[in-house]
Amino acid sequence: MALANDLRKGMAIRYNNNPAIVLEVQHRTPGNLRAFVQVIIRYINTGKSADVRFSSTEKVDLVDVNRQELEFSYADPQGFHFINPDDYETITLQPELVSEVKDYLVENLKVEVLSIEGRPAQVEIPSSVVLKVTESAEGVRGDSANNVQKPATLETGLVVQVPLFIKEGELIKIDTRTGSYMGRA
C-alpha cells in the first residue's frame, strides 16, 4: 500500500480489483478545498482508460511490475514481434498495446516491456530514435525566412516537420515524447 501522493507515471496499481497502469498523474489543490491527486489509468485486462481522483492521503494498492528489455523485430497482421536478446525467444504483442509507439519502431530498436501479473501492459521506447527520411520535398532557394520547415515522411510512415536542408535518405533524430525533429544523426 502507498499513498496516492506517491503515485508516478508507469507504476501499476489495483483499482476496483483490476490491475491498471498509471499513465498520467497531477496533484491539485483547488482554492480552499482539500488537495487531491488526479490520475489517468489504463486497465490491463480491457485496455480502457479511466480518469480517477484520489484524496492525497488515500491508500492505493500497488502491483508488482516486471520490466523486460526486448528488441523490435517486425510487424505483421498478427501483431508486433519482439525478440528477447538473452534467449532469442519471440514475443508477439497486440497492435492496441503498441499503438502509441508504432511510428518509432525500427528493426533492432531496444524497448522495455512492462508486464503486470505476467501480461504485457506497456511498451516504453527510448526518448529519441534515429529514423531515415524516405520522402521530402526540395527546399526552395531563397526561401529562408526565420526557421522555415517542410514536411518529411520517415521510414515508419511518420510525418514530421524538418528544416529545409534535410534531404531524402538522410538519418535524423526524432524526440519520441513530442514527435519533433531534434537534428541530424
Rounded to an integer, what distance in angstroms lies between the CA atom of residue 118 and that of residue 141? Answer: 56
Cell of 171: 538519418
- CATH architecture designation of domain 2-62: Roll (2.30)
pLDDT in tens, 110-150: 999 888 877 888 888 999 999 999 998 886 666 566 778 88
Residues belonging to the chain: 185
Residues of the chain with CATH 2.30.30.30: 2-62
As assigned by CATH, the class of the 65-124 domain is: mainly beta
pLDDT of residue 140: 66
Residue 148's pLDDT is 81
CATH for 128-184? 2.40.50.140
* Region(s) of the chain under CATH 2.40.50.140: 65-124, 128-184
Q: Cβ distance 69 to 36 under 8 Å?
A: no
pTM of the model: 0.71
